[in-house]
Chains A and B, each alone.
Chain A
């Protein structure tokens, strides 16, 4: 058998269903790999080995007795450390929560456990999903497994790095302005920001209530689909939770895409604020060609300016994050990392008028985007501009002063958006594009992303650690 830690969730599920693999063997392989190599990238804050092994024995017993909970049964998953876990520290990568042990699981963690997933531990994150990795935080920064000199992207840094380094089969992240898609892209993982309201945020540390989403990262798009299938569903404890039809995302990921219509938002990455790196630009052209070869129709479409989404989302995040963390930034500012603290303080200067204007602008952008997508199933654009930042270079306190975010548009509109790896640059670092669907049409996103992965060789390469 091949190295167990590089199996896909789909492959491992088939092997367990046929009795050729046990969850215990699979989980032990991951725990051994974590012990052997995670010190090189620091993706885990907490490893819950004993709890995981207890859960695997339960899973194996159930499967041996003929009970199959679904595609996640016996599958080792890890969680960004903003997901509350009963009896296990949930730190938010912050001194403020360094000893916090929740009494109950987040709703999504409960769903994963009910689906039979095995929780391996908690992963490093930008502090409260908004700061940067700074030396004044309680845990070391997560490093990029492709080259530890580079940042892994954030804020779900540990999730992207652990998936790419084969330290878990899937990981939960959160995405308010790109925090699943940035680390997925910079680490060569797959990831999806689901439609706003599809997955409960109850029990996850909030950053901005009106934009926060929770979603999975995994090595393949199909694996993301299998995880999302366990997560999606109405939760009365999350005010934004939507009542939607149950969809078999795993089946959707195996659907052909001939005739699918894709709107290419080229203006976003070839606009007045900069251009992609040459490697990324070439990878985008190649990816468009692959989709056309697969039978999809790809046409350039004019969307609202990417800078509009960027500032709209940034004002909303800054104002809402301040409201959430205001008491702590007043009473215990020294407990935050110096970047996080200032990002949370900035919201104190935003007026109600400015915040409401941003919310109104959001509605307009949402409607204009919907109109531009008329006649198309998906939007395609670049995931990031080029290589991630280098750790040794000074980081901006306010990252919104740089190039506009390519991920923010789909936070503002609430649409589902996936990151798909489309190669590697001359520097060996991953390249990626985004696919976004209509609200609650994750199925089309998965179909296109998985079809692209099957047609290209990029899932064969892993970082050497």
Chain B
């Protein structure tokens, strides 16, 4: 997992929210923080290091 995947505290998340351009209520921020922390926790499963050959295609093809 990369450093950006570290779960933020509610305060850290609120500071990030202020930079997103979104107009958020406190209730929104509470829900979004819970959702983001849950997402980041699940993202532990995504490998951290990738070979250059792992570059994703610009248009996905299911048969390639």
Contacts and interface: CB of A to CB of B under 8 A. Distances in A.
B2 interface: yes
B2 A239 contact: no
Interface in B1-46: 2, 4-5, 13, 16-17, 20-24, 28, 31-32, 34-36, 38-39, 42-43, 45-46
B35 A346 contact: yes
A36 interface: no
Nearest to B53: A363
A329 B62 contact: no
Interface residues of B, number: 34
A197 interface: yes
Contacts of A310: 42
Contacts of A357: 2, 43, 46-47, 50
B35 A397 contact: yes
Contact of A364 (B21, B42, B54, B57): B54
Contacts of A413: 62
Nearest to B36: A349
A419 interface: no
Contacts of B16: 349
Contacts of B5: 354
B62 A359 contact: no
Given A318-B39, A361-B47, A342 B28 contact: yes
B9 to A, nearest CB: 14
Given A314-B42, A353-B4, A400-B39, A329 B56 contact: no
Contacts, number: 118
A315 B21 CA distance: 20
Contacts of A356: 56
Contacts of B13: 349
Contacts of B31: 342, 397-398
Contact of A349 (B2, B32, B46): B32
- Residue among A329, A363, A397, A438 with max Cβ neighbours from chain B (10 Å): A363
A129 interface: no
A227 interface: no
B39 A348 contact: no
Contact of A329 (B22, B38, B59): B22
- Residue among B5, B23, B46, B54 with max Cβ neighbours from chain A (10 Å): B46
A413 B63 CA distance: 9
B56 A359 contact: yes
B42 A400 contact: yes
B33 to A, nearest CB: 9
A95 B35 CA distance: 24
- Residue among B20, B32, B36, B63 with max Cβ neighbours from chain A (10 Å): B63
B60 A414 contact: yes
A460 interface: no
B59 A239 contact: yes
Contacts of B36: 346, 349
A315 B56 contact: no
Contacts of B17: 349
Given A346-B36, A349-B36, A196 B2 contact: no
A176 B16 CA distance: 28
Contacts of A348: 20-22
Contacts of B4: 351, 353-354
Given A354-B5, A362-B60, A307 B54 contact: no
Contacts of A330: 21-23
Contacts of A197: 61-62
Given A348-B21, A362-B60, A398 B34 contact: yes
A360 interface: yes
B43 to A, nearest CB: 6
Interface string A405-442: 00000000111000000000000000000000011100
Contacts of B21: 330, 348
Given A210-B59, A311-B43, 11 more contacts: A242-B63, A312-B46, A314-B42, A346-B35, A351-B4, A360-B47, A360-B50, A360-B54, A366-B62, A398-B39, A400-B39
Interface of B: 2, 4-5, 13, 16-17, 20-24, 28, 31-32, 34-36, 38-39, 42-43, 45-47, 50, 54-57, 59-63
Closest 8 CB pairs of A and B: A414-B62, A359-B56, A439-B63, A439-B62, A398-B35, A348-B20, A311-B42, A360-B54
22 contacts: A195-B63, A242-B61, A305-B45, A310-B42, A312-B46, A342-B28, A345-B32, A346-B32, A349-B16, A349-B32, A353-B2, A354-B4, A354-B43, A361-B46, A361-B47, A363-B54, A397-B35, A400-B38, A401-B34, A414-B62, A438-B63, A439-B62
